[in-house]
Copies of this chain bind each other. A is one copy, B any other.
Amino acid sequence: MALIVQKFGGSSVANAERVFNVADIVTKTYAEGNSVVVVVSAQGDTTDDLIEKAQEINPQASKREMDMLLTAGEQISASLLAMAIEKLGYPVVSLLGWQAGFHTSSAYGSARIKRVIPDRIKKELDKKNIVIVTGFQGINRYDDMTTLGRGGSDTSAVAIAAVMNADLCQIYTDVEGVFTADPRKVKNARKLSVISYDEMLELASLGAQVLNNRSVEMAKKYNIQLEVLSSLTRAKGTIVKEAKQMEKMMISGVAKDEKVARISIIGVPDKPGLAFKIFSKLAAKNVNVDIILQSIGRNGTKDISFTVDQQNLKDTIELLSAYVELIGASSVVYDENVAKVSVVGAGMETHPGVAADMFEALYEANINITMISTSEIKISVLISKEDADKAVAVIHDKFFSEAIHA
């Protein structure tokens, strides 16, 4: 007798057959005596189809109206899933974000959950109903529909789990769990049975694309145990929980991110405070800067390099081009032909030599490293994009073929 929150992504409910597959998972969980709250995304390509309809009419449509449009997607999938569960003979009710008590900030398109008031969810659970909630959406203080941004359904699920103090939050997706590397690319990639929140956060931000980062942050904050698993194979997935509860692995995974670009500001005068000014300016524009490398000053100038998401590249270059002259630097150059490859592991801090092993693997494969960044549980290197897959393979081989788990 537990309270379980189950979240299903768009591919899990893409068509009638898949909807019934999900209904089967949900009702089996319910039939075992659990209370079940289901969070569902829009079906397959619904969101993209709706965006296309909007683009056809007004590519500059307001975010308010975009949210009004897009929230219809989950409304459709939630009611269809409810109908499938009815068909299987179980009591069920679907609720929209606002009915489920999701109150968000007013930032249409990327709203943050401010609070969840789960009165209606509780009432329906008391009535022994399976409760389906539309993910990705809520209402703001004007009573207008808002969306949480892409991947927001994960966050919706964790928020319900947090406020309801759920025993488990299962994130069903189209992969079987969290792997030591991308299983489509690295043949020896292993599924992890458990991983810490911090490692998951590093992997997610590195492009592993298994879980939305905000959802992991929220799970960590409220100590909600997550399980990432596949709705199709139904194999046991990967548990994400607090690191101290488990044996620390030295390395939990190898990830790559090809959607980065490197920007260099050449000839920055060697005066204190300029780097601070540059990065404050970028922060004010919400540009997230990752690896930063500053050359040693020579002739009274230095070069500052850093990486940004490719989607921020154009804006960042425009911003800096105007600024470069003002601070007396000579030019701004950029390179999109780069990839970031990282190893992540909570045990890394107590196991020296991880960086050395990683660099050795790259050296043996003749892969050149342009930039390096390290944190307590992560080492990232910037390399040429064409080397990325090979780099992941050789690094994965280095750590996992030798089975050097702590």
The digit string for A73-110, where 1 denotes a CB below 8 A from any CB of B, is: 10110111011101100000110100100000000000
C-alpha gap A144/B129 in the complex (Å): 15
**A83–B99 contact, CB under 8 A?**
no
**Please, which residue of chain B has its CB at the minimum distance from the CB of A64?**
B93
* Chain B nearest CB, measured from A42 CB (Å): 10
**A80–B94 contact, CB under 8 A?**
no
**B72–A60 contact, CB under 8 A?**
no
Q: How many chain copies does the complex carry?
A: 2
**A87–B68 contact, CB under 8 A?**
no
For A16, give its contact among B56, B75, B76, B143 (CB under 8 Å): B56
A45 within 8 A of B: no
**B68–A75 contact, CB under 8 A?**
yes
**A80–B69 contact, CB under 8 A?**
yes
For A83, give its contact among B54, B83, B145 (CB under 8 Å): B54
Which residue, A62, A69, A87, A120, has most C-beta atoms of chain B within 10 A? A69
A30 within 8 A of B: no
Which residue, A58, A73, A94, A120, has most C-beta atoms of chain B within 10 A? A58
**B82–A78 contact, CB under 8 A?**
no
A53 within 8 A of B: yes
**Please, which residue of chain B has its CB at the minimum distance from the CB of A93?**
B64
For A76, give its contact among B61, B69, B86 (CB under 8 Å): B69
Q: Across the A-B interface, give the 7 residue pairs with the lowest CB-CB distance, nearest first.
A: A68-B79, A69-B79, A61-B83, A58-B87, A58-B83, A72-B72, A72-B75
**Listed A/B pairs (16) with beta-carbon separation below 8 Å:** A19-B57, A54-B83, A57-B83, A57-B84, A58-B87, A60-B87, A61-B83, A62-B82, A62-B83, A68-B78, A68-B82, A69-B75, A69-B79, A71-B75, A99-B143, A99-B144
Q: A residues engaging B (CB < 8 A)?
A: 16, 19-20, 50, 53-54, 56-58, 60-62, 64-66, 68-69, 71-73, 75-76, 78-80, 82-84, 86-87, 93-94, 96, 99, 120, 143-145
Beyond the given pairs A61-B83, A65-B79, A68-B75, 15 more chain A to chain B contacts, judged by CB atoms under 8 angstroms and listed by A's residue number, are: A16-B53, A16-B56, A16-B57, A19-B57, A20-B57, A54-B79, A54-B80, A57-B83, A58-B84, A66-B79, A68-B94, A69-B76, A72-B75, A72-B76, A96-B145
